[in-house]
Amino acid sequence: MRRAFTEELQFISDQLVEMTRLTSTALDRATTALLTADLELAEAVISADDTIDLVRRDLDSRAVDVLARQQPVATDLRQLVMAMRMSSDLERMGDLARHVAKLTRLRYPHKVLRGPLEPMFTRMAEVAEDLVAEAGRIIANNDVEAVPQLLVTDDEMDELHREVFRTLLADDWGHGVEAAIDATLLSRYYERFGDHAVSIAQRVVYLVTGEWPEEDLHIEERMDVSRVEPLG
Amino acid sequence: MRRAFTEELQFISDQLVEMTRLTSTALDRATTALLTADLELAEAVISADDTIDLVRRDLDSRAVDVLARQQPVATDLRQLVMAMRMSSDLERMGDLARHVAKLTRLRYPHKVLRGPLEPMFTRMAEVAEDLVAEAGRIIANNDVEAVPQLLVTDDEMDELHREVFRTLLADDWGHGVEAAIDATLLSRYYERFGDHAVSIAQRVVYLVTGEWPEEDLHIEERMDVSRVEPLG
């Protein structure tokens, strides 16, 4: 019984790590499509999101099944509950990658990003992919020691988000309101993608230590517009 | 044992309904603060969000506790898992109300909304509060018959979201990029608030019928920018 349970948990953990790979790939391809106005690639990202949703559904069904059959308590129970929350984060990250692809498709054959924004979003995507890769390693190894570094990486995401707003609000922004609206939404998608990676890391901390990280009480602050907009 | 379990479930359901009231109040007050540039009220909404977070944490602890002590299976188990997902939706709705309040605070003493946007956001808030009130009734009474009406109400939210974008992109929008960025983010906050109410309703449908509503496979479509932006 115990061995079966351990195997089930390992399988679920492996599936979560697989989901980090799928969402990373999705965002990578969505960003390439965005930067090159590649309609075909955008369509591929949109279709591939169904796979992420299915993996999530399968993972959650298994977790509920294990709950019902094995009746875990204490740490074992917490692990399953947290796995379901992490799968929810990862599914949402897939949705955000799809949002990037859909905006790409909407503006095709034009590029969505104007002027100085391209390098910023190139970097945002790299940071976002670093974040989800770190989250995957943290899940795989229960590596809570790696969490502070992930938070530092997320700080760079927040700084990039601020930089986008500064660019849109600069006197020499000459690309109009539509391009500014698009960049606002895109910037929020990438930032939220990063926030979900942070959330996953914090759930692992909770599992390993039994304590929510101090920061988590205000985890939503990390994604708060008034923290990242230098507009006050 | 069975009676204790039924009482626990009823308590959890009551707490979910209480959370729908708290989030509705939060959005109502945040909207008043937004429309009147009321700094004090905005601060009150920001502080009050801690209460919603605490209720959510308490609810989740209880659900995990019931899982551990009562070892439910089948429908009972599903109810607890779904209650935790609904509490997550409701906490996020509270965060979105807080985001509205924070943007209000950021722009104080100026109003965030310009020109013709005020009546649109007044209506968005009414629709959002209708949605969460309907979600509360659906939870309280397992009233899946009311779900189609809730989806119709959410369609009005999507239409308002489109109307905001049309306004920002019209030739006579003379309020500049910053006001357009603010309105873009705000519109997304209200729309997402509504999406979470839809998500709650669909979880109740799943609990009652055992089937995900057809629509749910693409539930995220409801919140997709390319569906609501008439910019193609």
CATH no. for residue A82?
A: 1.20.58.220
- Provide the pLDDT confidence category of residue A87 given band limits of 50, 70 and 90: very high
B17 contact A CB<8A:
no
* B214 in contact with A, Cβ within 8 Å: no
Give chain A positions within 8 Å (CB) of B232.
106
Confidence of residue B222 (pLDDT cuts 50, 70, 90): very low
| Cross-chain residue pair A74–B68, CB shorter than 8 Å | yes
As a whole-number percent, the residues of chain A with pLDDT over 90 amount to 87
Which residues in chain A have their CB less than 8 angstroms from residue B177's CB? 168-169, 173, 177, 180
Give the residue among A15, A78, A23 at the shortest CA–CA distance from A197.
A23
What number is the average pLDDT over the span B72-85?
94
Per-residue confidence band for A210, with pLDDT thresholds at 50, 70 and 90? confident
Judged against a pLDDT cut of 70, whether residue A225 lies above it is answered with no
**If pLDDT is split at 50, 70 and 90, which confidence band does A26 have?**
very high
Query: Best mutation site among B226, B228, B231 for testing chain A: the one with the most A CBs within 10 Å?
Result: B226
CB A77 within 8 A of CB A66: no
**Which residues fall within 8 angstroms of residue A113, CB to CB, at 6 or more apart?**
A34, A35, A121, A179, A182, A183, A186
What was the pLDDT predicted at B213? 65
Find all residues with CB under 8 Å of A58, minimum gap 6, and list them: A15
Contact A64 B53 (CB under 8 A): no
Q: Does B188 touch chain A (CB under 8 A)?
A: yes
């795989």: which residue's tokens? A140
What amino acid occupies position A26? A
Which of A201, A86, A193 has the alpha carbon at shortest distance from A145? A201
Q: How far is CA B51 from CA A72, A186, B58, in A?
A: 30, 31, 10
Give residue B119's identity as a one-letter amino acid code: P
pLDDT band at B2 (very low <50, low <70, confident <90, very high): confident
Q: B138 by DSSP, 3-state: which?
A: helix
Give percent of chain A with pLDDT exceeding 70: 91
Place of tokens 């309703």: B201
Q: Which residues in chain B have Cβ-Cβ distances shorter than 8 Å to A231?
A: 106-107, 178
The whole-chain average pLDDT of chain A stands at: 91
For an interface test with B, give the residue of A99, A177, A223 to mutate (most B CBs within 10 A): A177
Give B-chain residues touching A71 at CB under 8 angstroms. 71
Report which secondary-structure segment, H or E, holds A92. Answer: helix A74-107
Contacts of residue A145, Cβ cutoff 8 Å, sequence gap at least 6: none
Burial of residue B1, with CB atoms counted within 10 A of its CB: 0-12 exposed, 13-18 middle, 19 or more buried: exposed
Comparing C-alpha atoms, which of A179, A180, A151, A186 is closest to residue A166? A180
Q: CA dist A52 to A45, A140, B173, Å?
A: 11, 18, 40
Structure tokens at A212: 């929510």
Q: Which A-chain residues 40-69 have CB contacts (< 8 A) with chain B?
A: 53, 64, 67-68
Q: Beta-strand (E) ranges in chain A?
A: none
Contact B220 A78 (CB under 8 A): no
User: B39 at the A interface (CB within 8 A)?
Assistant: no
- Phi, psi angles (nearest 5°) of residue A119: -65, -30
- Total number of domains constituting chain B: 1
Q: Which domain holds residue A217?
A: 2-228
A-contacting residues in B 80-119 (Cβ below 8 Å)? 81, 84-85, 88, 95, 98-99, 102-103, 105-107
* Distance in angstroms (rounded) separating the CA atoms of residues A138 and B141: 41
* Nearest residue of chain A to residue B187 (CA atoms): A185
The number of beta carbons lying within 10 Å of the beta carbon of residue A193 is 30
Integer Cα distance of A166 and A188 in angstroms: 14
CA A194 to chain B, closest CA, distance in angstroms equals 17
Q: How far is CA B167 from CA A79, A196, B141, B174, in A?
A: 47, 32, 39, 10
* Model confidence band, residue A1 (pLDDT cutoffs 50, 70, 90): low
Q: Does A14 touch chain B (CB under 8 A)?
A: no
Per residue in B179-217, pLDDT tens? 999 999 999 999 999 999 999 999 999 999 887 765 443
Integer Rg of chain A from CA = 19
Cβ separation of A217 and B53 shorter than 8 Å? yes
* B172 touching A (Cβ < 8 Å): no
Does the pLDDT of residue A196 top 70, yes or no? Answer: yes
Mean pLDDT value of segment A152-160? 97
pLDDT band at A132 (very low <50, low <70, confident <90, very high): very high
Q: Which residues of chain B make contact with A103, given a CB cutoff of 8 A?
A: 225-226
Residue A170 pLDDT more than 70? yes
Q: Find the residue in B nearest to A183 (Cα).
A: B181
What the block records as the tokens of B56 is: 């959510």
Assess B219–A contact: CB distance below 8 Å, yes or no: no
Q: Closest approach of chain A CAs to the CA of B10, in angstroms? A: 21
pLDDT of residue A223: 41
Least confident of A110-114, A151-155, A222-226, B75-79: A222-226
Q: How confident is the model at residue A80 (pLDDT cuts 50, 70, 90)?
A: very high
Residue B210 CB contacts under 8 Å (≥ 6 apart), including other chains: none
Judge: B181–A181 Cβ closer than 8 Å, yes or no.
yes
DSSP-derived letter for residue A223 is G
